[in-house]
Structure 1
Amino acid sequence: MSFRRWILTLSVVWAVAACTVGDGWPGRSQGEPCDRIHPCSGDLVCRNDLCVPLHDAAVDVEDDLDDTQDAVTDVTDVVDVTDADADADTCQAPDTPCGTDCCSPAEICMDEQCVTGVPCESDGQCAGDTYCWNNLCVPYGTGPRGHFNPQCGEYPQSGIFSPFLHCTWSAPPAGDPYPAHVNVLSTPLVADFDFDGNPAVVQPSIVFLSYSGTDGSSGYYNGNYGVIRVLDGRDCTQLYTVGTQLNGCNTPAIADLDGDGRPEIVAHNGLGGVEAFRYDDLTDTWGQLWHGHNAGGTNLTYGAQSTGWSGVAVHDLNDDGLPEILSFGLVYDHTGLQLTGALGMPGYFSYPAAADLDRDGRVDLAGGSVLYSFNPSTSAWDLVWNTGPAGLYVAYGDFGTFPQDPGGDDRRVRDGIAEIVVVGSGLTQVINVFGRTLYGPYNFPAGTGGGPPTAGDFDGDGRVEFSAASSDSISVFDPDCLGIPEVATCVTLRTDGILWHQVSQDHSSNRTGSSLFDFEGDGRVEVVYADEVFTRVYDGRTGEVLFSQWHSSCTWNENPIVADVDGDYNAELVVPSNLNCTITPTTAGGIGYPLSHNGTRMDPIFKGLRCETHLDCASGSCDTGFCRCADDAQCGGGGSGYVCDVPVAGTPGTGNVCRSDWLGAYPGVRVYRDSLDRWVPSRTIWNQHTYSVSNVSEAGIVPRTAQWVQNWMDATLNNFRQNVQGSVAVGTSPDLTVRAASFSCLITTFAELQATVCNRGTQPVPTGLPVGFFHGQTGEWLCEATLQSPLVTGQCVDLTCEWTSPPRSLATSVTVTVQADADASGNPQLGECNELNNTATVPGVYCEVIGKLR
């Protein structure tokens, strides 16, 4: 399917608006929307529909007219011909008075402005910065809508995953001092380090450890080690390499340790020590902030591979407003001083998950068989109990009311006290804060092991469930799927405590991680999991595979994550991969991989790319919810990871489908997004392996202990290792328009092409969005301007770019088409509620001679 927009043309005339504050009207304040009916107060002027100080307006209409004689098009502004209101005496018949104007018979009076309304039945018939009202196209800023369309929205289509490779990193650039460090064995992270020094501009980075070896060991082996890579989330460009001799399979953590407003990175080194790294904006480099040490200043290490497969975490444990760093049971303060080392480094604390589980004001640390509480007065862990079941990994959630006395148990009512999910040794179970087993132990349906669990609402019943992966399966466990289940709380009606499970291939670690995200904003999370050979997204209710792409990993405890990695207010999926252990598809839970007509191995449990209408498919054919195809080109072509082949047995409908196939092992990270950014918004951070949303702000700030709202206490959360929608509401959408377009000739004989671009939608438009200028006759790309800051609802901005070789005479002049949200190929980056109003035209563009303005 081609997503190239139709290019519309629009020719209109330029008019200059002047506004004065009327008698008795207080006027709008700085930053508020304004127009002729709602002028600005004091020394503020109305510029691009917003009140700004006079010196910021930076426009001199008379100079523009006299000096440049720009050819300008504008679809909204009108000329003030007098400061006095028009009336019957000043308007000559058949004109009629309208505020300070006189409207011709072809015009209508709207908000004291004369408007030439083009007949319409819907917004799609209105070009430029106009909309349809009372069957006429009227300018934004007039009529009932004002400066934006409150009905502008775009809701994700249920089950429709149209993936697009946003960007990829597979090796460092030439000249990098660590060229062999390409394998990613741990969970990638996302944060905005404010490299541009402008907190208003959100530009997240992707952070991960890259390893030099191809072994299956613990990240510091036989001379191999890890270094941290920092990528630009917009295009996966490598920005920095941080540290050296780090453990390549241990997930780092990101947080603002010193309160300077910029996050730091904390990681395990190869000898078990902890190091923190800080960005210096003066030198534009990263350096070591500290090495974990004792009170005497001696750096602390514990031996090669001592940290095994693990990760660090950052929390405020003592309510001093400064975070502590957890490495297993070891605790360091924000300066690197070790506060306590008494608990050592037991495996059940490999991914320390700290939280105030029982709401007593003290931070707890669960390890399956043990529970500790941090004592701020002694800076030590106090044992609460050690009678629980053994296990390696934990997650938290409020599963209901489960006091010390089982007689008070009630799954239906949440009490604000967390329960603990424990996974290890092929078993998973839920225990309460008193160490009593509530559910389980459950055996994994296939395989052994068991990786770090997740918690969330998988089936939309308002109750929390949990999931974990093992050697040959990914499973969702539901306490409501016991006894005589009800379809409202256990849609699959299983009676073994399992909501669903799907086969997978993990014959190496047997304990890979996973994560959760509600891609469609419908209150039911999807499961994101990558085994050795495929990355998949599963329907949270049924386990149906919605998305599949080839992948390779020897598997440690890593997991894909979901976050807004580029600041575009939509979610992306980040997948780590490696070349280790020469992984290839063998069997998934005993199921083989069928061969495609190309001889590649296909995912045996992915039924194909899904659709709702024919427009969702490149082939233009949608049958029973699946895109039908005649050849590989209709699935994306060679290298896309999809092949046109016979469907999985039992797939409804007729015809071949686009199935996922395995194209070989690769290293690095890949970032996927929806082809039209229809996935719901997400936060711009995932800061550690034990991420739980409320543990960190999007600026990397760790909440003070007393102010830390535990995840399960928030009615919209109650999840673990799940990202959520950010500050932008689900169902909102941008709507870009071009309000004005013009050109002027520079002394260089270049043409400066200008456009006023507006956002009439309900969602901000991100920094960096391209606005393309194209040859109106040939479609040739001429130049491009980009947004330098977010464009909020109702705001307009002036953009320019230079065309270096415009025509030199009137006879050869051309029309230039301006297209908002268009790259050099004319392709969009955003999904909008109205895709048909993104263009305007500038007729008669030419620059005759040097020094002469036209």
Structure 2
Amino acid sequence: MAGWGACAGAVLPTGETCDGTDDNCDGVIDERDDPEVIWSSFIGSSYNNNGTLHAASITDGQVVEKWSVNPQSNRIWPGRALAGGDLDGQPGPEIVACQEGSGARAFHADGSDMWTTGPGPYCDQPSIADLDGDGSPEVLLSGAVLDGATGAVKFTFPVNNGTSWWREKAIAVDVDDDDALEIVTGSRVFDSDGTMLADTGLTGTYPSVADLDGDGSPEIIVVANLGKNLFVHHIHVWRYDANMPGNFEIVRQDVDINGPLAINLCPSNSNGYSGGGGPPTVAEFNGDGTPDVGVAGGIGYAVFDGAKLMDPNTLNADTLLWIKQTQDCSSSFTGSSVYDFNGNGRAEVVYADEEVMRIYRGTDGEILAEICNTSGTLHEYPLVTDLDHDGKADLVVSSNNYSGFTCPGSNTKTTGVRVFSNVEWTRTRNIWNQHAYHVTNINDDGTIPAVEPKNWQEPGLNNFRLNYIDEPFALSDLVVTEVWAECGDPYTLVARVRNIGRAEVPKGVTVGMYAGDPDLDGVQLGQLDTTKTLYPA
């Protein structure tokens, strides 16, 4: 893997990627502009205080920082996640960050202030969605919904597990098939106006959604991790069902994410010993046509067979597809992402613990790649996106050097946002806008859909925290469509080159002009390299 580094202080949440500026000067901010990676950094070990927000892009193979901002009032909480999307209907996505202690604030695409809530609702993993389908997005926090344009609190709703890192998270999905979004937490469903529709009574922290049994309706997959000393590190599966008592059905509960691994792989006073479990990732891992569930804990990364999770005749322990020992005793609630890097129809897992980032084969957990990446860890996870516009997926991961963790076998550490690439990886989108990313929650131009397509019903999707493969076997096809001469001294020959294929072509393609057929001893008159990415016509 080739790599770039963009180091600006220590980083915990990986952040998000989106197109924020009109780089190709066509008057539109969309997927044809250079994506920016947005992240927040901190000084020393102070990941709860005085965060700085950064935006950078990769231009001509170099990391270029576009802007940074360090507000001195309503300061950024650098250890919390970010979300990006068009909140004001103007070109360019806005960025939502959490404030120290409580509340949120939004920035325009150039880093200028948009709004702040001041001290207010709790914020840790904000999401952006158009809950009421009126064309104006809302910002969803753990327990509150904000007006996306102003930051005003529209309503609040109850969540479990206190106010710390283990507080219930909330996502927006349509679970009752009415073409409108609901708010889903680890244990409840609320309508878009805050009315409670279901309360399972389960303990849950991180929800994800996918159709595990292929019936066209989604299941809610929840990781329950209630923190140190409570010995809760489980998966639950349930679904909204208006025909059942209480409007829900519990499909399976209390699946131990540690499997056969011993909890004493972490020290007894750590989160990883008595807790564990980050946000679940849903993807097709083993090629059986059913989505599976991946989750990281304090001592291992585990993948559970989706079909077996839905089979009432399968014991909890037998739902485990594979598990590999890892090391995240510090937070024990890091996340992961998945992507089909080689286009074979089965996802690979990307996961970074306290010392190493690894790519696992989805079918059996075999390590395909690993590289040192140190982190004190919170809830971060690697992102997969096309960050340099070369038509290939890139891997974005955060790291920091404030903790005692070092690269295995050495005393070295890493820090900052790091980007890795491989020319053999498949094509993907250049956007990943929030912690609860699931492809259909945002359009390619950064706008938020008024009616969000159901991810689990879209061809090639039915996943959560996986970026989509953009025609992995698509090819480019460059043709010269026009040639003309311009009189002068010297004269000028002009050729118009178009891409009539289905894959973009990076700049730098050599175009030669000949007097006669070059295969029949035609004389070359000159040559030039293209200066812009050529997109499919």
Asked if Structure 1 and Structure 2 have the same fold, meaning a TM-score greater than 0.5 normalized by the shorter chain, the answer is: yes
Are residues 1:259 and 2:89 paired?
Answer: yes
CA deviation after TM superposition for structure 1 residue 762, in Å:
4.3
Corresponding residue number in structure 2 for 1:290:
115
CA deviation after TM superposition for structure 1 residue 242, in Å:
3.1
Are residues 1:497 and 2:319 paired?
Answer: yes
CA deviation after TM superposition for structure 1 residue 249, in Å:
1.1
CA deviation after TM superposition for structure 1 residue 240, in Å:
0.7
Q: Which digits, 9 at most, give the CA deviation of each residue in 1:553-599, with x for residues without a partner?
A: 011000001011122222111111111212125xxxxxxx6xxxxxx
> Contact 2:95–2:107 at 8 Å: present in 1 too?
yes
Instruction: Report how many aligned residue pairs link the two structures.
Output: 484
Distance in 2 between residues matched to 1:521 and 1:559, nearest whole Å: 22
Distance in 1 between residues matched to 2:76 and 2:33, nearest whole Å: 29
Distance in 1 between residues matched to 2:309 and 2:152, nearest whole Å: 49
Corresponding residue number in structure 1 for 2:5:
168
Corresponding residue number in structure 2 for 1:336:
151
Corresponding residue number in structure 1 for 2:221:
420
Distance in 2 between residues matched to 1:702 and 1:524, nearest whole Å: 28
Corresponding residue number in structure 1 for 2:346:
524
Q: Which digits, 9 at most, give the CA deviation of each residue in 1:516-549, with x for residues without a partner?
A: 1111222211111001111111111111111111
Corresponding residue number in structure 1 for 2:266:
none
Corresponding residue number in structure 1 for 2:413:
665
1:763 corresponds, among 503, 506, 519, to: 503
**CA 1:581/1:742 → structure 2, altered by over 3 Å: closer, same or farther?**
farther
Are residues 1:366 and 2:184 paired?
Answer: yes
Are residues 1:326 and 2:140 paired?
Answer: yes
Are residues 1:213 and 2:44 paired?
Answer: yes
1:268 corresponds, among 93, 98, 105, to: 98
Whichever residue aligns with residue 333 of structure 1, its letter is D
Unaligned 5+ runs, structure 1 = 1-162, 172-181, 280-284, 293-298, 376-380, 401-412, 586-592, 594-600, 602-661, 774-782, 794-854
Distance in 1 between residues matched to 2:131 and 2:378, nearest whole Å: 28
Distance in 2 between residues matched to 1:738 and 1:546, nearest whole Å: 41
SS of 1:580's partner is coil
1:571 corresponds, among 381, 390, 393, to: 393
Matches within 5 A, 1:600-749: 601=409, 664-674=412-422, 677-704=423-450, 707-726=451-470, 729-734=471-476
Whichever residue aligns with residue 170 of structure 1, its letter is C
> Contact 2:278–2:332 at 8 Å: present in 1 too?
yes
Distance in 2 between residues matched to 1:724 and 1:230, nearest whole Å: 23
SS of 1:697's partner is coil
**CA 1:273/1:542 → structure 2, altered by over 3 Å: closer, same or farther?**
same
| Structure 1: 4+ residue segments shifted above 4 A | 344-350, 481-486, 735-744, 751-762, 770-773, 783-786
> Contact 1:550–1:663 at 8 Å: present in 2 too?
no
Corresponding residue number in structure 1 for 2:289:
462
Distance in 2 between residues matched to 1:547 and 1:508, nearest whole Å: 23
Whichever residue aligns with residue 294 of structure 2, its letter is S
CA deviation after TM superposition for structure 1 residue 260, in Å:
1.6
Corresponding residue number in structure 2 for 1:508:
330
Corresponding residue number in structure 1 for 2:303:
476
Q: Which digits, 9 at most, give the CA deviation of each residue in 1:585-631, with x for residues without a partner?
A: 5xxxxxxx6xxxxxxx2xxxxxxxxxxxxxxxxxxxxxxxxxxxxxx
Distance in 2 between residues matched to 1:497 and 1:730, nearest whole Å: 31
Distance in 2 between residues matched to 1:242 and 1:423, nearest whole Å: 35
**CA 1:484/1:510 → structure 2, altered by over 3 Å: closer, same or farther?**
closer
**CA 1:342/1:569 → structure 2, altered by over 3 Å: closer, same or farther?**
same
CA-atom RMSD, angstroms?
Answer: 3.4
Distance in 1 between residues matched to 2:398 and 2:333, nearest whole Å: 16
1:227 corresponds, among 41, 52, 67, to: 52
**CA 1:696/1:739 → structure 2, altered by over 3 Å: closer, same or farther?**
closer
> Contact 1:468–1:476 at 8 Å: present in 2 too?
yes
Identity between Structure 1 and Structure 2 (%): 31
**CA 1:784/1:582 → structure 2, altered by over 3 Å: closer, same or farther?**
farther
**CA 1:737/1:547 → structure 2, altered by over 3 Å: closer, same or farther?**
farther
**CA 1:262/1:756 → structure 2, altered by over 3 Å: closer, same or farther?**
closer
Corresponding residue number in structure 1 for 2:279:
452
With the length of structure 1 as denominator, give the TM-score of the two structures: 0.52
Unaligned 5+ runs, structure 2 = 226-231, 241-246, 264-274, 513-526
2:254 corresponds, among 433, 438, 441, to: 441
Q: Which digits, 9 at most, give the CA deviation of each residue in 1:180-223, with x for residues without a partner?
A: xx1111022110113334237321111111111325xxx32xxx
Distance in 2 between residues matched to 1:482 and 1:515, nearest whole Å: 20
CA deviation after TM superposition for structure 1 residue 251, in Å:
1.0
Corresponding residue number in structure 1 for 2:270:
none
2:210 corresponds, among 392, 397, 404, to: 397
SS of 2:419's partner is strand
SS of 2:108's partner is strand
Distance in 1 between residues matched to 2:233 and 2:218, nearest whole Å: 27
Distance in 1 between residues matched to 2:87 and 2:188, nearest whole Å: 28
Corresponding residue number in structure 2 for 1:385:
198
SS of 1:326's partner is strand
CA deviation after TM superposition for structure 1 residue 230, in Å:
0.4
Distance in 1 between residues matched to 2:94 and 2:43, nearest whole Å: 24
Whichever residue aligns with residue 203 of structure 1, its letter is D
CA deviation after TM superposition for structure 1 residue 681, in Å:
0.9
1:432 corresponds, among 239, 258, 261, to: 239
SS of 1:286's partner is coil
Distance in 2 between residues matched to 1:349 and 1:324, nearest whole Å: 21
Corresponding residue number in structure 1 for 2:520:
none
> Contact 1:472–1:503 at 8 Å: present in 2 too?
yes
> Contact 2:221–2:280 at 8 Å: present in 1 too?
no
Distance in 2 between residues matched to 1:485 and 1:362, nearest whole Å: 31
Whichever residue aligns with residue 205 of structure 1, its letter is E
Distance in 2 between residues matched to 1:504 and 1:395, nearest whole Å: 22
CA deviation after TM superposition for structure 1 residue 772, in Å:
10
CA deviation after TM superposition for structure 1 residue 467, in Å:
0.8
Q: Which digits, 9 at most, give the CA deviation of each residue in 1:127-159, with x for residues without a partner?
A: xxxxxxxxxxxxxxxxxxxxxxxxxxxxxxxxx
Corresponding residue number in structure 1 for 2:268:
none
**CA 1:738/1:383 → structure 2, altered by over 3 Å: closer, same or farther?**
closer
Matches within 5 A, 1:41-440: 163-165=1-3, 167-171=4-8, 182-196=9-23, 197-198=25-26, 199=28, 201-215=32-46, 219-220=47-48, 224-234=49-59, 235-244=62-71, 245-279=75-109, 285-292=110-117, 299-301=118-120, 307=123, 310-334=124-148, 335-343=150-158, 346=163, 351-375=169-193, 381-400=194-213, 413-424=214-225, 425-433=232-240, 434-440=247-253
1:787 corresponds, among 518, 527, 531, to: 531
CA deviation after TM superposition for structure 1 residue 419, in Å:
3.1
> Contact 2:357–2:373 at 8 Å: present in 1 too?
yes
Distance in 1 between residues matched to 2:132 and 2:167, nearest whole Å: 19
> Contact 1:439–1:479 at 8 Å: present in 2 too?
no
Distance in 2 between residues matched to 1:168 and 1:738, nearest whole Å: 38
Larger radius of gyration: 1
Distance in 1 between residues matched to 2:453 and 2:69, nearest whole Å: 32
> Contact 1:256–1:701 at 8 Å: present in 2 too?
yes
> Contact 1:243–1:288 at 8 Å: present in 2 too?
no
> Contact 2:290–2:306 at 8 Å: present in 1 too?
no
CA deviation after TM superposition for structure 1 residue 389, in Å:
2.0
**CA 1:785/1:692 → structure 2, altered by over 3 Å: closer, same or farther?**
same
With the length of structure 2 as denominator, give the TM-score of the two structures: 0.81
Corresponding residue number in structure 2 for 1:64:
none
SS of 1:236's partner is strand
Q: Which digits, 9 at most, give the CA deviation of each residue in 1:229-281, with x for residues without a partner?
A: 101134321111134220001111111011123211111111412111114xx
SS of 2:403's partner is helix
Distance in 2 between residues matched to 1:328 and 1:372, nearest whole Å: 12
